[in-house]
Amino acid sequence: MSFSLTILGSSSALPKPDRFTTAHVLNAHERFFLIDCGEGTQIQLRRFKIRFGRIHHIFITHLHGDHFFGLPGILSSFNLMGRKNPLHVYGPDKLQDIIMGLYETMGEKLNYEIIFTKVNFKQPELILETNNLSVTSIPLKHKIPTVGYVFREKDKLRKISRDLVTEMGLGVKEIISLKAGHDVIRPDGTCLESEKYTTPAAKPRSYAFISDTRYSELIIPMIKGVDLLYHEATYLDEMKRRAKETGHSTAAEAARVADLAGVRKLLIGHFSARYRDSLPLLREAQDIFPNTVAAEDGLCIDVDNS
């Protein structure tokens, strides 16, 4: 099953011709989750051929424009396209007032329901749970209340071959028990050992989105061992003082977090417009954490833990 990330925007504060502001789309088992929604997000969705109708959950990290100015536009487009399905939006409590106040001012009535969920800025909180995925919010240290999000697949059932099911004449309850890791005692007293008749399931995959934040080791226990960590890297380390003043991190600081958390791969982004390209920031991060890639608009990463 798919578990991949597409970068829609990788710039901080100011959009550039080749870099839009922050927005990511996570495809988890063909369910699409939009994380932050900077200006121009809906343009990027069309550009990279991601269908609007596949998005039912939008996660906003904080109320700085480069992370949510694209939201009113995409909500309006949903309406114009005749959306009927409810849309879940997660973020600061003031976000609901901003969005609904805007539509009241315009006199526009939405034809679909928006279900707002307020995030917790003081402690981690499980905010979404499906049959195969959980999403937890993580408080960050920015100039205004900000959170990150961690997406984790749930443990999967063990695998059993169809040939074995047919050969052994296994019933539904027996198959379920074996795949869940339980041994089965058949009516004739035969014991079917789960480890013998099934193979291990693929390991659950995980993705952490660490938005605007000062360097903080407090988040490490919550992102420990994730397969892919996105961590903002607005500045080079020579501007560490400026990063702290503005509530941001440097590329070196992002790499240190990745190293301490023991993640598999680091993705850096949210680059300051002062940098013509991301190569200096990438090199700085790779000096500390070699398995680092730089975000580029349109980049698609398959999250793999094998």
Residues 108-126 have pLDDT tens digits of: 889 999 999 999 999 999 9
Phi, psi of 270 (to 5 degrees): 60, 45
Tell me the per-residue pLDDT of 127-138, one tens digit each, with 9 for 90 and over: 999 999 999 999
Arithmetic mean of pLDDT over the chain = 93
Instruction: Identify the bridge partners of residue 211 per DSSP, sorted by sequence position.
Output: none
Tell me which residues of the chain have a pLDDT lower than 70. Answer: 165, 305-306
pLDDT in the model for residue 100: 93
List the catalytic residue out of 18, 36, 66, 237: 66
**Structure-block tokens of residue 57:** 């959950």
66 is catalytic: yes
Q: Residue 267 CA to chain centroid, in angstroms?
A: 12
Comparing CA positions, the residue from 304, 303, 299, 301 lying closest to residue 48 is: 299
User: Which helix H or strand E contains 150, and what residues bound it?
Assistant: strand 147-153
Domain range summary for the chain, segments of one domain joined by +: 3-156+202-302, 162-197
Strand 55-59 vs strand 31-35: parallel, antiparallel, or unpaired?
A: parallel
pLDDT in the model for residue 101: 94
Fold type of domain 3-156+202-302:
Metallo-beta-lactamase; Chain A (3.60.15)
Tell me the per-residue pLDDT of 69-90, one tens digit each, with 9 for 90 and over: 999 999 999 999 999 999 999 9
pLDDT in the model for residue 240: 97
Q: How far is CA 70 from CA 20, 39, 146, in A?
A: 11, 4, 18
Comparing CA positions, the residue from 164, 163, 153 lying closest to residue 194 is: 164
